[in-house]
Amino acid sequence: MTVALSSGHFESAKSGFDARWRRHALVLGGVWATLLILFARDVGDLATIYWTNTTFGHCLFILPVVGWLVWQRRRELALVRPEGWLPGLALVAVGGFGWLLGEAAEVALARHLGLVLMLQGAVVTVLGPNVARALLFPIAYLLFLVPFGEGMQEPLQDLTAKMVMPLLHLAGVPAVSDGVLITTPNGYFEVAEACSGAKFVIAMLAYGTLVANVCYVAWRRRIAFMAMALIVPILANAVRAFGTIYAAWMTSVEAATGFDHIVYGWFFFALVMAAVLAIGWRWFDRDPDAPWFDPAALQSPVRRRAEAPVAGLLVLAGASLFLALGHVVDARASDLPASMTLPEIPGWERVPLSDRAAWSPHYPTADHTLHGRYRDASGATVDLAVAVYGSQHDGKELVGFGQGAIREDDRWLRVETLRPLDGGFAIRMRAPGPVERETVTWYRVGGVLTGSDSRAKLATLKAKLLGGDQTAVAVLVSAERGDGDSRAALERFVAAAGPVDALADRVASGR
C-alpha cells in the first residue's frame, strides 16, 4: 500500500533535510567517529593497506563514491523519515562477532569485515529500516572497503602463464614454460604475483558493481556486464604479459622492461576499464533522470523504535563488548622453555647449511626459530626448520603475509605447487643460479596438524576462544633439487623423523 506524503513533508524536503534528519545524522556521525577511534588499530591497518598496497589502492575511492551515491539520492531521501531501530543491532552484533573471530584467529580480513559491518549496522540502527532500504546500495557498497581477493593471485599467476604460451607460439616465439617461469632464447621471465592480474580483477569487481547499479535496471544486463567486467581484465592481462615478452623477443629484455611495467599496467587497465564501459554503453537501460527510489513506498511504520541517542549508545555498547572480549582472548599465552634444540634423526647426521644458495624460512616474530641441515648415508641432504610461538596476536602470527618458506621480495620465488607430502603443503621454488628447492610446510596448532593456512587459522581460533594450549609450531623440510630425487630424500627424512605432529611437540616442549 502506498502512503501519501503530506504537503508539509514535501515543503521541508524542498528546503533540505529537516531538524529530525539533522539530529539523526549528527548522532550517526558521532557513532561512526567513536567506532573508528575504538578500532583505531584496524583503521590504521586499512589506511596503510590502501596507501601502500597497489592491489587495494582503489579502496581510497570507495568512501567518496558512497558519498556521491548518497548525494544522488538526497532529494528523495529527505522525504523518508529516519527512526532509531533496535533490530539493526543484529547487524552490529554480526560485525562484532566477526571482528572477534578475526581477532582470535589472527585473520585481518575478518577483523576488517567485522568493522565495516558494524559501521553498516550503525547506519541501519540509527536511521532505521526505511532509510536503510533507500540507501541499500550505498550501504552495501561499503563492503568494498574490505581488502579482499589476495587469494586469487597464485591461481591467476598460473592461469596467465598458461594463456601467454599459446600467444607466444602463435607469434612464432620459441618459448618454454616451467610453472610461472617462461624462457625464450633471449630472456627469462616470471609471471610474478604483481603481474597476475589479480589487482585488476579486484578493482574491476568494485568498478563493475558500481556501473551495473548506476547504469542498468534489468538484472540480466547487470549480470552480463559483471561477467564481461571480470573476464575482460583477465584476458587483457594475458595480452599485456604476452606483449612484454614479445617486445623483449623483438628487441631486448632491457628495452621491453625498462619502463616500470607496473605503472604501465595501470595505464593499460585504465584503457580496459574504458573499453568495458564502451562495450556496455549500448545496453544501458537506466534513465539518468529517473529517481533512485520511490519515497512514497518507504513510509512504513517502524516497530521497535528507539530515540537516535539511545540507538547510537546501544551500537557503541555492543561494539565495546566485543572489543573487550577480543582483549581477553588476545592475552592468552603458553609458557615455553628457555631453549630448544633440533632433534637427532636416526640415519641422518647434522652438517653445515648449504652455501650454494642461502635459504631460511621467514618467521620474524616467532619466540624460537631453529634451522639445521641433515645428510644420510647416500649423501642426500635435507633442511629442517622449526618456528615456535607461545602466543599469537596482531603482528605476531604463525600464518601471515610474507612469512614461511618465501618472504616478501625474496630472491626465492614459487615456481609451482606440488602434490602434498604427508599432508604438508609442498612447493617448488627457485633462486638465481639457478638453484631449486622442494619445500614442505606443516602447522601444528591446538592438537591439529595441517599444511593448510586456513585450517591453521581455524585451529588458532578454536584455541584462542576455548583456551588451552596456545603453542603454535611451523615445521618445514626442504631439499635442493639436483642430481638426486629431492622428493625421495624428503620422504626418507620424514619417515625417519617420525610423525610430524610428535616432532613439533617434542621440539616445542624442549625435549
- Write out pLDDT tens, residues 26-55: 999 999 999 999 999 999 999 999 998 878
Residue 6 is predicted with a pLDDT of 44
**Residue 260, pLDDT above cutoff 60:** no
Average pLDDT over residues 76-102: 95
Q: What is the pLDDT of residues 386-413, one digit of tens each?
A: 999 999 888 889 998 889 999 887 889 8
**Residue 17, pLDDT above cutoff 60:** yes
> Cβ of 268: how many Cβ atoms within 10 Å?
18
- The sign of the CA dihedral 174, 411, 441, 163 is negative
Q: In which band, very low, low, confident or very high, does the pLDDT at 152 lie, cut at 50, 70 and 90?
A: confident
Closest C-alpha to 508, from 440, 437, 439, 442? 442
Structural contact between residues 175 and 167, judged by C-beta atoms closer than 8 angstroms: no
SS3 of the chain: helix, strand, coil, percent, to 5: 55, 15, 30
Summary mean pLDDT of the chain: 88
Q: In which band, very low, low, confident or very high, does the pLDDT at 9 lie, cut at 50, 70 and 90?
A: very low
Residue 55 is predicted with a pLDDT of 82
Q: What angle do CA 23, 27, 30 make, to 5 degrees?
A: 140
Alpha helices in 358-485, H assignment, sequence order:
453-466
Residue 239 is predicted with a pLDDT of 86
**Residue 63, pLDDT above cutoff 90:** yes
Residue 255 is predicted with a pLDDT of 52
**Residue 263, pLDDT above cutoff 80:** no
Q: Is 498 left (phi over 0), alpha (psi -120 to 50) or beta?
A: left
pLDDT cut 90: percent of the chain above it: 54
Average pLDDT over residues 284-289: 86
What are the φ/ψ torsions at residue 443 (nearest 5 degrees)?
A: -120, 140
Average pLDDT over residues 67-85: 93
**Residue 11, pLDDT above cutoff 50:** no
Structural contact between residues 508 and 388, judged by C-beta atoms closer than 8 angstroms: yes
What are the distances in angstroms from CA 387 to CA 84, 87, 88, 405, 442?
Answer: 51, 46, 44, 11, 11
Structural contact between residues 448 and 468, judged by C-beta atoms closer than 8 angstroms: no
Q: In which band, very low, low, confident or very high, does the pLDDT at 261 lie, cut at 50, 70 and 90?
A: low
Structural contact between residues 405 and 413, judged by C-beta atoms closer than 8 angstroms: no
**Residue 223, pLDDT above cutoff 90:** yes
What is the spatial distance between Cα 162 and Cα 177, in angstroms, rounded to a whole number?
A: 8
Residue 177 is predicted with a pLDDT of 82
Average pLDDT over residues 296-318: 92
Q: In which band, very low, low, confident or very high, does the pLDDT at 332 lie, cut at 50, 70 and 90?
A: confident
What is the spatial distance between Cα 170 and Cα 90, in angstroms, rounded to a whole number?
A: 57
Give the chain's end-to-end CA distance (angstroms, integer): 75
DSSP 8-state symbol, 405: S
The more confidently predicted of residues 73 and 244 is 73
**Residue 5, pLDDT above cutoff 60:** no
Residue 16 is predicted with a pLDDT of 72
The more confidently predicted of residues 309 and 394 is 309
- Ranking 41-55, 277-291, 430-444 by mean pLDDT, the lowest is 277-291
Residue 493 is predicted with a pLDDT of 96
